[in-house]
């Protein structure tokens, strides 16, 4: 197996450190759920696991059938779109604050114990 080499003093070992550090995974903390590319699909996927959102989606789909139409189609969509938008904004803000905390933790200066 591979052994990890720790070089606490970078002085004249800087080139060796840079060469060896590419072989290992970094130890950055990442607690965010979303990225910019997967925010919308993943958030909608998570929101439609809630029974209430599925119920409102069922009402919207049912209202598009002309035989069953009780309200205007747009009015039926308003509660669902409103709830989905509010929850998506809340989730996005929470995830952004987690991103900022991760960035702050990953940039902390650490001390290395050496005998």
H helix or E strand, kind and range, residue 19: helix 14-21
User: In this predicted structure, what is the pLDDT of residue 12?
Assistant: 67
Confidence of residue 1 (pLDDT cuts 50, 70, 90): low
Rounded to whole angstroms, the Cα distance separating 113 from 107 reads: 19
Angle at 80 between CA 52 and CA 32, to 5 degrees: 80
The pLDDT of residue 51 is: 93
pLDDT at position 46, please? Answer: 95
Each domain of the chain, given as residue ranges in start order, spans 31-107
Residue 7 has pLDDT above 60, yes or no: no
> Are residues 50 and 59 in contact, defined by beta-carbon separation less than 8 angstroms?
no
pLDDT one-digit tens code per residue, 71-105: 787 888 998 999 999 999 999 999 999 999 999 98
Write the DSSP assignment of 39-102 as a string of letters.
Answer: HHHHHHHHHTTSHHHHHHHHHHHHHTSTTT--S-HHHHHHHHHHHHHHHHHHHHHHHHHHHHHH
For 48-79, the pLDDT digits (tens) are 999 999 998 998 888 888 887 777 878 889 98
């Amino acid at each position: 197996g591979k052994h990890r080499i720790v070089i606490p003093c970078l002085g004249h070992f800087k080139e060796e450190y840079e060469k060896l550090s590419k072989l290992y995974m970094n130890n950055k903390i990442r607690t965010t759920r979303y990225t910019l590319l997967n925010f919308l699909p993943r958030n909608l996927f998570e929101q439609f696991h809630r029974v209430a959102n599925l119920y409102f989606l069922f009402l919207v789909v049912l209202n598009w059938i002309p035989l069953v139409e009780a309200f205007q189609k747009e009015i039926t969509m308003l509660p669902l779109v409103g709830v989905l938008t509010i929850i998506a904004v809340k989730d996005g803000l929470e995830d952004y604050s987690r991103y900022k905390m991760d960035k702050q933790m990953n940039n902390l200066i650490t001390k290395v114990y050496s005998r």
